[in-house]
Amino acid sequence: MLTLEETKKNLIKQLEDANKSTIVLVGDSGMRKTWMARKISELDKYDTLWVYMTEKYDDINLFYEDIARQYLSLSPITEEWKEDENETQLFVIKVEPKEKKEDQEKSLSIEEKIRNKMREIGHALYIKNKHLLLVLDDLGNNNDRLYVKLSTKWRSMFLPKFHNHLKIIITTRKLRDSNEQQSTEVIKFPQHLQPQESSDLLKQSVDKNVSEKSNYQQLRVAIADGKSEGIRKPATITTIAKALNYIAQHDASVLERAILQAAYYEKHLREKN
């Protein structure tokens, strides 16, 4: 079973493979798939477009709007949507009803602006030998068709010669058959962290006044040795750490008891399983 650091190295390796255009991160909620994607997006070699996947993107115009918010200066678009000097209608917050034909014309204008901008970006990436990363961050929809639709539409915005500079990361809880393609790499996240990873994450997440308590080590061992489902998940560990940090700041007199209770709870679950 790979550690998170090993998983990150594998992800970077797959993204560097010219034959791999899409990487699918598969794992339970709380296993840091989104965290991992963000770490990759912070690397200098990538410019990133981040989309939180919801069913609203069945309307492709909303996908365009999300891209526009991240990559276009809003001022030229704002001017198009002005009705008079005192009333500015931004396309991202427009609520007034319009004629269907007018909406289509404005939507087309937005699409054209985005396509022009993406081609500019594609050319710049081509010159600098960098990559543009699209992250489709799943919010539990598991919608195959939507992933394919957005990925295809995004690629169509670029000239074919730029396609090798485009990469896609998808985060999802379930593996889909449609993701099993030659140009796609699937990376499965473990169900829980390794013991040392669990211990390290707890240490990183708690404040100093928590880790200095004498019974902190009991909690660290209880979590690191935990075998029941959920105990060694990052989300569980950080939740425990946040609770203890809050207690330390607001009611330090009960901190040691709270640490012991957390350690006992984890130990009890371990022995039960």
Report which of residues 44 and 57 the model is more confident about.
Answer: 44
The number of CA neighbours under 13 Å toward the Cβ of 1 is 10
User: What's the pLDDT band for 91 if we cut at 50, 70, 90?
Assistant: very low
Average pLDDT for 245-269:
80
Average pLDDT for 212-221:
87
pTM (2 d.p.): 0.70
Q: What percent of the chain has pLDDT over 90?
A: 15
Question: Is 60 exceeded by the pLDDT of residue 163?
Answer: yes
Report which of residues 154 and 85 the model is more confident about.
Answer: 154
Question: Is 80 exceeded by the pLDDT of residue 191?
Answer: no
User: What's the pLDDT band for 151 if we cut at 50, 70, 90?
Assistant: confident
Mean pLDDT check: name the lowest of 114-128, 139-153, 242-256: 139-153
Report which of residues 232 and 94 the model is more confident about.
Answer: 232
Report which of residues 59 and 261 the model is more confident about.
Answer: 261
Question: Is 50 exceeded by the pLDDT of residue 174?
Answer: yes
Average pLDDT for 81-109:
41
CATH of 4-188, one of 3.30.1490, 3.20.20, 3.40.50, 3.30.460: 3.40.50
pLDDT at 88: 31
- pLDDT, the chain, mean: 76
pLDDT at 112: 84
* 6 CB-contact burial (10 Å; exposed 0-12 / middle 13-18 / buried 19+): exposed
Radius of gyration of the chain (CA): 23
Q: How many CB atoms lie within 10 A of CB 216?
A: 21
Question: Is 80 exceeded by the pLDDT of residue 106?
Answer: no
Of the candidates 204, 200, 147, 150, the residue with the CA atom closest to the CA atom of residue 26: 147
Average pLDDT for 68-97:
41
Of the candidates 247, 251, 195, 257, the residue with the CA atom closest to the CA atom of residue 221: 195
pLDDT at 38: 92
pLDDT in tens, 14-51: 999 988 999 999 888 778 899 899 999 999 889 888 88
Question: Is 60 exceeded by the pLDDT of residue 99?
Answer: no
Question: Is 60 exceeded by the pLDDT of residue 78?
Answer: no
Report how far residue 270's alpha carbon sits from residue 267's, in angstroms, rounded to the nearest whole number: 5
pLDDT at 101: 45
Question: Is 50 exceeded by the pLDDT of residue 79?
Answer: no
